Amino acid sequence: MTAFRIGGGGRGGGALGRVVRSGVGRRRVQTLVIAVATMMAVASAVVAGSLIVAANRPFDHAFAQQHGAQLTVQFDPERASEAQLRSTADESGVTASAGPYPATTVQPVDSAGGHLPALTLVGRSAPAADVDDLDLKSGRWATKPGEVVLDAEFAGPALELGSTLKTSDAADSPTLTIVGFALSVSRTAEAWTTPAQARALASAGTSLTPLTNQMLYRFDEADTDGQLIAARERLAAAVPSGALLSSRSYLEVKRDADQGAAPTIPFLIAFGVLGIVMSVIIVSSVTSGAVGSSLRRIGVLKAIGFTPREVVRAYVAQSLIPAAVGIGLGVVLGNLLAVPLLDDTEQAYSTTSLTVAWWVDVAVPAAALLVVGLAALVPALRAGRLSTVEAIAVGRAPRPGRGQWAHRAAGRLPLPRAVTYGLASPFAHPVRTVAMLLAVAFGTIAATFAVGLTASLTAVSAAADPEERAAVTVFGGGGEVQAGPGVPRPTEGGTKEGPEGGPTEGDSEPQAADPARVRAAIEAQPGTAAYYAMTRDDVSVAGVSGVVQASFYQGDMGSTGGYEMLAGHWLDGAGQVVVGSGYLDRTGTEIGDTVRVTYLGDTRTLRIVGEAFDTSDGGVRLHANIADFPGAEPRMFLVEVEEGVAPVEYAQKLAAVLRPLGGDAMANAPSGQDNFVLVLQSMAALLTLMLVSVAGMGVLNSVVLDTRERVHDLGVCKALGMSPRQTVSLVLASVTGIGVLGGLIGVPTGFALHGVVLPLMGHAAGTDLPPSVLNVYTPWQLPLLALAGLTIALLGALLPATWAARTRTATALRTE
Amino acid sequence: MTQVIQLDGVAKRYDSDGRPALGPLTLSVEQGEALAVTGPSGSGKSTLLNLVAGLDRATEGTVSVAGRRLDDLNEHALARFRREQIGMVFQFFNLLDDLTVTDNIQLPAQLTGTARRETAARAGELMEVLGIQQHARAYPGRLSGGERQRVAVARALVNRPALLLADEPTGALDTASGQDVRDLLVDLHRGGQTIVLVTHDLALAEACASRTIRLVDGHLALDTRAEAVR
């Protein structure tokens, strides 16, 4: 007779292996659910981890990856030869250099006649270099004359590979074909051609600036402005006097980039932490539930001679097999899901290609295996310690006594019996119920937070650009003031949204329309409801170094909507100024203080009467009355039309009157959302979908375990006449309470999370946020969001409920 | 007399090309009859019971119970049929451990939507008749086997079914409890309840049944009628 050897290790691994394999194979549904739930949880953790990594000093990482230029210097080719420039690489402190590259500035015009902003164009024979190793995002490098590579920020429907650009307005200006899009983290240029092409453009007179030579440097010490200034001085001394024309420190670029990226960091960390916590909850509850539901089988194994240690090993292994498959698939899925999210993050940060960090792909599965192992070990050890009889008895059904009071109480409810029976069921498994509750609550938190975040971002977009709310914008010409919100700006494709033939940014329209005649034309135009005038220019402010952007207003902004006020009030009289939060922070001033502002030779002392929600120019822009500065003339008029008047027709008619005067009018497109806002909103939507799916999988797993355990009881109920519909309602009712409670916990928590994260995002962007951005939840939204918890629970339970209803009664009755 | 059960050429196969577990079998049971189904393990007794209860579907032939052809009914209609026409008593009681005795008994009536007061009155009446009223608020786990089976019988009768199906009702009981259940079934039969009793216990069959059939390998091997139930 052949001895049946049970023991593990070398002497009986076969028996143990068979037990593990049969355990995995026998419960296919549960095995599948464990694998899928683990997969979703791990995918979520990979994405969450990647986002947290991406949010960690994105500029620094991208800068290091590209060997960014710490100092970008323009030299005069007439004063310093290329050989002299190359020799600067040997100066003390220089650790790497690139160049000289011929450089100039052009203002290209696209095929539709739209003007791009002035671009620094550099001639480089390849994207790769020791310094400023460019990231070619799409297409290829320019290899022959007539080709150009543009900054990737310009890529879009209007400007794509193969599109052509003229280098200026001049009829004979050269045409360049876009062959690639690239990104320089150091912002050394926005367009690249071959060196010969760059020289040709500069010498043909179609560029805005004469030819210069660009050199890029890295130094052994470049952490502070002082170190970079010293390095610049050493370079200036190394070339003939006056040869060094200008320079730009990477610290300036970094400050801009960090300011842009900072608002996203609390948002990404919030979602990242939610994703990771939820993954741990789901993986541990799935695993421990699977082992806990196998107690009877454990008892049987012990009865036939397995030792407690072998039982523990068998069940830990049994959990690890589907979990390991799920973890592997989860890593793959997580990497796939991370691609669009990291693409979005790249856009938000204007940074180089972000990929899932290798160590995230290692750490997440390792942590998941650890969580699975521990979650399986605890119930397996408990099972191993139970006596054989106890294990069989305990494993036969939920422990008698648990939840009986709930059944008594639920039985009194005036609801169908199947529903009341289901409502009381969760109390038989308190730990599993708590895990399910946490999954639902976390899913609801994510949904609530995402809804609030999306609404807040929409509100930020609307509040930040009050000029864009006007139905029609009228340009007075003159070409010096149209920078900033409300003025035609580069579209997604980088071109300008200017009226056909009208003045746009950078146009050097010499002739400005007479503001009085423009005003008269607007007032005479039928359909005009209200309007105000403005101009924007640089001013000097006592105590503030450099220039400060200022907007000057004339007329009533009330009808078209002004800036949201954080404190104080909008301009309502002479001698007043409104500032952004950044100005107050930078100057240490507060509302009520005075500011000495000089514009076109006129100096006025203005009193700060309000703090506006204005993040443009780092929040340091001033808003004042035109009347306070005699030299200021309105250049732009923001018009609100009467109800029923089509803005486009109104603008066309008004433009016909204004063009002979040197002005123009255009209808504002329905407020499109800021690209950055759209990126954040799509990220929030994707992350929420993922977290809600993980929550649903957690519920699905728990309900599968529950219905499997109760299949015999369900069979009894069906034998007594419970219909399939009643069976479905019983199972769904078993998660209803959890769904409702999860919603009730999740909504206020998500609400609170929104209340914490949004101000953090605002502070990171250097501003407080107005109530319109913070108080975004409407009274009807919160109860609806609470229903999200119920929806997650019901959707998660639907599949096992259907399965329970379809199970043959005779089969269910035979199930032990 | 009215036929409560009518099986015409009924066969049940679990493997499409295998030997039938039951039949082909033609059988009728009249109202008020107590039929004992006996036979060795694997003879098709439980299969027959499942087909009559509408828990399983015949592969061939037709099954009619209380005037309804079960093969025409969908799952929902079968469930309604069961709760209105069938009472079932199982070998291992199949009581729901998390419900009290009263709740267990009331459950089938509650599933039909019977009014609470009526359900409570019927459950109280059955508990009194079966002598378990003192356990009304107890949970099944605290009762003896015989008491549990009485609860199961009460639950089976709560909707006044046309047919009581009992699957080895004394199989899990000690001798004294088994005797109690036997007496109970006899009383029910005397009261006019139609019963189909599946059992290995020939003494039980002899005591309770007005008619006994014996199945062997799914086929009817014997069909005898007692003169009177003792």
Check if B73 contacts A (Cβ < 8 Å): no
The reply to whether residue B111 touches residue A720, judged by beta carbons under 8 angstroms, is yes
Domain end, chosen from A217, A242, A267, is at A242
In this structure, are A474 and A449 located in the same domain?
no
Q: What is the CATH number of the domain that holds B45?
A: 3.40.50.300
Domain end, chosen from A670, A686, A705, is at A670
Question: What is the predicted pLDDT for the residue at A744?
Answer: 93
**Helical segments of A527-671, H only:** 581-587, 647-658
Residues in chain B: 230
Give dist(CA B56, CA A719) in Å, integer.
11
Residue B228 covered by a domain = no
Residue B167 covered by a domain = yes
| Distance from the A433 Cα atom to the nearest Cα atom in chain B, whole angstroms | 17
Structural domain harbouring B125: 3-222
Structure tokens, A529: 């409801």
Residue B229 covered by a domain = no
Q: Exposed, middle or buried, A639 (CB in 10 Å: 0-12/13-18/19+)?
A: buried
The reply to whether residue A810 touches residue B76, judged by beta carbons under 8 angstroms, is no
Q: Across residues B79-87, what is the average pLDDT?
A: 90
In this structure, are A649 and A626 located in the same domain?
yes
Helix, strand, coil shares of chain B as percentages rounded to 5?
40, 25, 35
In this structure, are A572 and A435 located in the same domain?
no
Question: What is the predicted pLDDT for the residue at A240?
Answer: 86
- Which residues in chain A have their CB less than 8 angstroms from residue B83's CB? 720-722
Q: Which is it for strands B194-198 and B163-167: parallel, antiparallel or unpaired?
A: parallel
Q: Residue written as tokens 């990171």?
A: A764
For chain A, how many structural domains are there in total?
4
- Which residues in chain A have their CB less than 8 angstroms from residue B86's CB? 721
In this structure, are A61 and A87 located in the same domain?
no
The reply to whether residue A404 touches residue B107, judged by beta carbons under 8 angstroms, is no
What is the secondary structure of A173-235 as a DSSP string? PPEEEEEEEEE-TT---SEEE-HHHHHHHHHHT-SSS--EEEEEEEES--SSHHHHHHHHHHH
Question: What is the predicted pLDDT for the residue at A1?
Answer: 38
Structural domain harbouring A715: 399-465+675-816
In this structure, are A147 and A121 located in the same domain?
yes
- Which residues in chain A have their CB less than 8 angstroms from residue B96's CB? 713, 716-717
Residue B87 covered by a domain = yes
Question: What is the predicted pLDDT for the residue at A35?
Answer: 81
In this structure, are A611 and A728 located in the same domain?
no
Check if B172 contacts A (Cβ < 8 Å): no
Question: What is the predicted pLDDT for the residue at A464?
Answer: 63
Structure tokens, B60: 């061939």
Question: What is the predicted pLDDT for the residue at A381?
Answer: 80
In this structure, are A634 and A606 located in the same domain?
yes
Residue B161 covered by a domain = yes
Check if B100 contacts A (Cβ < 8 Å): yes
| Distance from the B109 Cα atom to the nearest Cα atom in chain A, whole angstroms | 9
Q: In chain A, which residues have pLDDT < 50?
A: 1-12, 479-510, 671
B158, closest residue in chain A (CA to CA): A720
In this structure, are A719 and A731 located in the same domain?
yes
Residue A249 covered by a domain = no
Measure CB to CB from residue A722 to each of B79, B88, B98 and give the nearest one: B79
Residue A273 covered by a domain = yes
In this structure, are A583 and A565 located in the same domain?
yes
What value of ipTM does the predicted structure carry? Answer: 0.87
Per-residue confidence at B163, pLDDT binned at 50, 70, 90? very high
Question: What is the predicted pLDDT for the residue at A391?
Answer: 64
- Which residues in chain B have their CB less than 8 angstroms from residue A719's CB? 53, 55, 82, 88, 94
Residue B230 covered by a domain = no
Residues A463, A464, A467, CA angle at the centre, nearest 5°? 90
Give dist(CA A142, CA A605) in Å, integer.
53
Measure CB to CB from residue A720 to each of B76, B97, B107 and give the nearest one: B107
- Tell me which residues of chain A have a C-beta less than 8 Å from any C-beta of chain B: 397-398, 400-404, 407-408, 411, 416-418, 424, 428, 712-713, 716-726, 805, 808-810, 813
Distance between the two ends of chain B, CA-based, in angstroms?
A: 22
In this structure, are A179 and A200 located in the same domain?
yes
Give dist(CA A284, CA A46) in Å, integer.
17
Give dist(CA A629, CA A635) in Å, integer.
14
Question: What is the predicted pLDDT for the residue at A465?
Answer: 66
Residue B65 covered by a domain = yes
pLDDT in tens, B10-59: 999 888 777 888 979 999 999 999 999 999 988 999 899 999 998 888 99
In this structure, are A565 and A515 located in the same domain?
yes
Residue closest to A700 by CA, chosen among A251, A38, A123, A14:
A38
Torsion of CA A54, A56, A58, A60, to 10 degrees: -140
Chain B interface disruption, residue of A720, A722, A807, A808, most B CBs within 10 A: A720
**Helical segments of A659-723, H only:** 675-709, 711-719
- Which residues in chain A have their CB less than 8 angstroms from residue B73's CB? none
Q: Exposed, middle or buried, A526 (CB in 10 Å: 0-12/13-18/19+)?
A: exposed
pLDDT in tens, A462-477: 776 677 677 888 887 6
Give dist(CA A634, CA A474) in Å, integer.
10
Distances (CA, A) of A450 to A46, A684, A744, A745, A762: 19, 6, 17, 16, 16
Give dist(CA B140, CA B103) in Å, integer.
10
Domain end, chosen from A644, A670, A696, is at A670
Helix (H) or strand (E) holding A625: strand A622-625
Residue A806 covered by a domain = yes
Q: Check residues B173 and B70 and name the one with the higher pLDDT.
A: B70
For chain B, how many structural domains are there in total?
1
Question: What is the predicted pLDDT for the residue at B229?
Answer: 43
Measure CB to CB from residue A721 to each of B80, B96, B100 and give the nearest one: B80
Question: What is the predicted pLDDT for the residue at B35?
Answer: 94
The reply to whether residue A407 touches residue B79, judged by beta carbons under 8 angstroms, is no
The reply to whether residue B94 touches residue A716, judged by beta carbons under 8 angstroms, is yes
In this structure, are A501 and A478 located in the same domain?
yes
